[in-house]
Amino acid sequence: MDEELLDIWKDGFERYLKTERNLKPRTYTDRRYRAMCFLKWCGKDFASISREDVLAYKEMLINKGLDNDTVNRHMLSCRYLFNYLEKELEPIRYLPVKKKVSQIPADSDIERLFRYCGNLTHFTILKVFVTTGIRSGELRYLSIGDVDFERRLLTIHYAKTQPDNVPISHETCKVLRDYLKARCQMKTLDGFQDILFPNQYGGRYTAEGLIKIFSRLGEKAGCKMRITPHKLRHYFATYCARRGTNAAVLQSLMRHSRIEMTARYIHLARHDVMDVYDKLFD
């Protein structure tokens, strides 16, 4: 396929993934990359590619030894490609994938993380993650003005939908106040003066940077699992569910678009039901 034509297509396909499919940057970058892999492997022009080419590509990926989840991601990218080109692809069957059981830090893990965290910024970020359940991307885009101490709210501007308010505890407010006193002395790059959590260089943390920070902190604290911001979000949800938070309230706290996304945390907490029952009647 002509490289110049491929570049033109790449720009148009990216706009399609961004606007019509409303995918996040990391997701549309992945879909575009996998669609490019298919096109380069196929070597045909847009008018000539067909469902049979996708099936042959799928067979090649399987024979190459890729796991089912990875093959399915390639097939989903091909589906986006064919929708963009307004070509018929269905039906394409996905391969079975075993559901991964999410590892959730225990209360003892969280206690050790706080105990071994000697960096004020990292300590404050950990406190916010554990007591609000916000996403990594939402935290990275917080500004100082997003903290409302009077109403005990954080305003989220990087949520999946529209800006939203997240409640913060009295203790978290105290930690944030203490942090902001030291924050005044931190140097920031031009354009990042109002950022709530600048990194060591004065700019914005990356998603990978936060993962690395908490992964290393987890190792230092002796946690058996790899600690990530997303696992801290899982911890927050499970912590709330195990203490009797109903599904509707938890959905609001987690800002899930569907109650089914919240229900899994309620299910995870069900093994605690017998303990609660025994305390009531034994």
pLDDT of residue 272: 57
Residues 122 and 250 in one domain: yes
pLDDT of residue 247: 80
pLDDT per position as a tens digit, 58-114: 999 999 999 999 999 999 999 999 999 888 887 778 888 776 666 889 999 999 999
Q: Which of 110-119, 198-207, 266-275 has the lowest mean pLDDT?
A: 266-275
> Quick check: 238 and 130 in contact, CB under 8 A?
no
Domain count, the chain: 2
Residues 202 and 76 in one domain: no
Residues 69 and 117 in one domain: no
Q: What is the 3-state secondary structure (H, E, C) of the chain?
A: CCHHHHHHHHHHHHHHHHHHCCCCHHHHHHHHHHHHHHHHHHCCCCCCCCHHHHHHHHHHHHHCCCCHHHHHHHHHHHHHHHHHCCCCCCCCCCCCCCCCCCCCCCHHHHHHHHHHCCCHHHHHHHHHHHHHCCCHHHHHCCEHHHEECCCCEEEECCCCCCCEEEECCHHHHHHHHHHHHHHCCCCCCCCCCCECCECCCCCECCHHHHHHHHHHHHHHHCCCCCCCHHHHHHHHHHHHHHCCCCHHHHHHHHCCCCHHHHHHHHHHHHHHHHHHHHHHHC
| Mean pLDDT to the nearest integer, 123-142 | 94
| Mean pLDDT to the nearest integer, 224-236 | 93
Distance CA 36, CA 137 (A): 27
**Segments forming the whole domain that contains residue 48:** 3-84
pLDDT of residue 54: 94
Instruction: Give the pLDDT band of residue 10 (cuts 50, 70, 90).
Output: confident
Q: Which of 134, 171, 167 is nearest to 152 (CA)?
A: 167
pLDDT per position as a tens digit, 152-174: 999 987 544 567 889 999 999 99
Distance CA 257, CA 255 (A): 6
164 - beta bridge partners? 156
Q: Retrieve residue 96's tokens.
A: 């079975």
> Quick check: 68 and 95 in contact, CB under 8 A?
yes
Asked if residue 55 belongs to a domain, the reply is yes
Cβ neighbors of 144 (< 8 A, separation 6 or more) are: 180, 183, 194, 195, 196
156: how many CB neighbours lie within 10 A of its CB? 23
Instruction: Give the pLDDT band of residue 258 (cuts 50, 70, 90).
Output: confident
Would you call the peptide bond into 91 cis, given omega within 30 degrees of 0 as the criterion? yes
| Mean pLDDT to the nearest integer, 223-252 | 89
Residues 219 and 140 in one domain: yes
pLDDT of residue 193 exceeding 80, the answer is: yes
Cβ neighbors of 55 (< 8 A, separation 6 or more) are: 92
Residues 123 and 205 in one domain: yes
Asked if residue 67 belongs to a domain, the reply is yes
Instruction: Give the pLDDT band of residue 56 (cuts 50, 70, 90).
Output: very high
CATH code of the domain containing 185: 1.10.443.10
pLDDT of residue 180 exceeding 60, the answer is: yes
CATH code of the domain containing 15: 1.10.150
pLDDT of residue 178 exceeding 80, the answer is: yes
pLDDT of residue 274 exceeding 60, the answer is: no
| Mean pLDDT to the nearest integer, 45-52 | 88
Asked if residue 137 belongs to a domain, the reply is yes
Distance CA 113, CA 32 (A): 38
pLDDT of residue 155: 93
Q: How many CA atoms within 13 Å lie on the side-chain side of 36?
A: 18
143 - beta bridge partners? 195
Distance CA 110, CA 83 (A): 45
Q: Which of 40-49, 132-141, 167-176, 273-282 has the lowest mean pLDDT?
A: 273-282
Residues 129 and 27 in one domain: no
